[in-house]
Homo-oligomer: A and B are copies of this chain.
């Protein structure tokens, strides 16, 4: 059995910060599955040619090749049905909303806070690719996108539904974490590993949830390498 996860790495191979890859790392840990990490950088497109894809995460599970974090989570539920991540039917459809919430409500706020840190966390060889592709996507320079105070107020508003849910249950998925938690938490690992910025105040119910998420699966998130641990990072 070989199980390999291609993951975005930064200035060091051990600096892993892709929010999409973090979803998958947690999803694999949730299923109790071991995985070997294969560090990958933005410009190494040819290394993913076998998957007919140009982004990570890519999971190779025996002879199966699966791309896209959400599709990987669905694949894991099909192949390893114990401890569902997304579930089926109505649960899965609603689970999908958390993907959009993370990517369309939280990420645009967070990126305004961490974008320059993110640029520094990325491998030097990847930086012009990153700048060019992101400036095209956002329609402005990275420096114009960088606006921590605007990002912070956007984030405060965007976190409101999360706060509501977490004031009533320990995890987004109830008494125990599952797919909805991992879909959203990936964003926070992105910010945590690539930046030293404090996104959520200690008194926020989201903060207590983040602490619980960091401790899960043997401290998977808490023990992850962070840019602030790297000399000169």
Q: Which chain A residues have a beta carbon within 8 Å of chain B's beta carbons?
A: 84, 87, 89-91, 93-101, 103-105, 108, 154, 157-158, 160-165, 168-169, 172-174, 178, 180
Contact = CB atoms under 8 A, between A and B. Distances in A.
A84 B90 contact: yes
Given A157-B154, A160-B105, A165 B91 contact: no
B104 A164 contact: yes
A138 to B, nearest CB: 15
B165 A96 contact: yes
Contacts of A96: 165, 168
- Most B CB within 10 A of own CB, among A99, A103, A174: A174
B90 A174 contact: yes
A184 to B, nearest CB: 10
Nearest to A166: B100
A103 B173 contact: no
How many copies of this kind of chain does the complex include?
2
Closest 6 CB pairs of A and B: A100-B164, A104-B160, A94-B94, A91-B91, A100-B161, A90-B91
A169 B157 CA distance: 26
Contacts of A97: 94, 97-98, 161, 164-165, 172, 180
Contacts of A157: 105, 108, 154, 157-158
Contact of A94 (B158, B168, B173): B173
Contacts of A105: 105, 157-158, 160-161
A104 to B, nearest CB: 4
Given A84-B90, A93-B172, A104-B164, 17 more contacts: A87-B89, A87-B90, A90-B178, A91-B94, A93-B169, A94-B97, A94-B98, A94-B180, A96-B165, A97-B161, A97-B164, A100-B160, A100-B161, A100-B162, A100-B163, A103-B164, A105-B160
